[in-house]
Amino acid sequence: MRDDFTLTQKRALAVLTVIALAFAAYFLRTYLLLIAISAVLAYLFTPLNNRLLTRMGSGAAATVTLLAAIATVALPLSGVAFLAFLQISQMVTGISQWVERTDFTALGQRLLDSANQLLARIPFIDTTLTPESVRDALATIGQKAGEFALGFARDSVGGIVAMVTALILFIYVFLALLTNGTKVLDLFRDLNPLGQQVSDIYLAKVGAMVSATVKGQFIIAVCQGVAGAVSVYIGGIHDGFFMFVIFLTVLSFIPLGGGIVTIPLGVGMAVFGNPVGGIFVIVFHIIVVTNIDNLLRPFLVPKSAHLHPALMLLAVFAGLQMFGFIGIVLGPVLMIVIVTTISVYLVVYKDAPMESITGTGGDPADDDAVREIPWWRRLLPGKPKPAPEPAKSAAP
């Protein structure tokens, strides 16, 4: 059939294929983020599915892999929610004890007098707060809060329906990509006009970046978040430990890290009466928290996934703005695609070395070989070597 097409028809078919792919992206634009999340999880859990296929059927293996993927996401979120609930409960208990010890009549009058004294110092403002005006303002705020709560409840009903729909779609897309991943990759290689070698480079780069962001960066962020929260606790702030762990872990996903919180916090502690604790928090972040990244990144992030810190910072923030929290993963992936495309152009048109694309001396499989080494062996002294391939039997 291919020989029956003229050159003009082949060109027209190529144009129609590009139009069809563009229209498919536009047609599925609402679910592109869901498809991307499904693809990321399917890529990460494919090794588990392949291992299960040696012991059970494809349907059972896919089901167990799906449950493992859901548990991997749900259990950490449940743990974070539980810790946050404990922290909030402690805060509520502390507030309740403070309420029992406080005379609100005298406190309210003192606050009202302080507010009036502050307003009297502001030029061009002649306002005096009274209990009646404060009561009216609180009534207005309560009315607005009630209207907001009703709107939130109304939107939540639609949000629950959308969440259930997204979950069903995720299951179908995840299972389809998990069981047909090889066919999808072959389709990408066939559709890519740059050829199979360049397609493999793109796939290796994207896969390395996904693994680096989800696996390596997650472990690094958790270690840095816990270390930062411990330093704040030792420095003298004993309330909100779990909240600091969650907050600093999230901040550690971006190149700026939790230092944008802990360093100003340490400065504030030093200025407002706790110089030893404040200096400890600052020094601990500079010496310990920062070097956690320097220590773990060479073992958890493959060389082919390295981006310049400036590009990584731009990619993370652009991804957050475009995709939300999942942009922490998708932003660097899109950036590595852009960088790889530019590198391929330089190799083809400017005779740049092939190492500029692979980053491993020309063979994208080098990083895969290194990742096969157990992580604990890569932490030991000396350069680890990949396991040797089994010897081939001699031909008869």
pLDDT of the residue at 2: 63
Contact 79, 226 (CB under 8 A): no
With vertex at residue 322, the alpha carbon angle to CA 166 and CA 18, rounded to the nearest 5 degrees, is 80
Taking CA atoms, 102 is separated from 106, 108, 131, 328, 388, in Å, by 9, 10, 19, 45, 72
Tens of pLDDT, residue by residue over 356-390, are: 565 544 444 444 444 444 444 444 444 445 445 54
Segment among 210-224, 253-267, 363-377 with least mean pLDDT: 363-377
Beta strands in the chain (DSSP E): none
Q: Which of 120-124, 160-164, 318-322, 369-373 has the lowest mean pLDDT?
A: 369-373
Nearby residues of 53 by Cβ (< 8 Å), 6 or more positions away: 61
Q: Is 95 exposed, middle or buried (0-12, 13-18, 19+ CB in 10 A)?
A: exposed
Rounded to two decimals, the pTM is 0.61
Give residue 23's pLDDT: 93
For 112-135, the pLDDT digits (tens) are 777 777 777 777 767 777 777 777
The average confidence (pLDDT) of the chain is 76
Q: What residue spans define the domains of the chain?
A: 31-179, 182-377
Over residues 344-354, mean pLDDT: 74
pLDDT tens profile 65-104: 889 888 887 777 777 777 767 767 776 676 666 666 666 5
- b/e map 61-93, b = 16+ CB within 10 Å: bbebbbeebeeeeeeeeeeeeeeeeebeeeeee
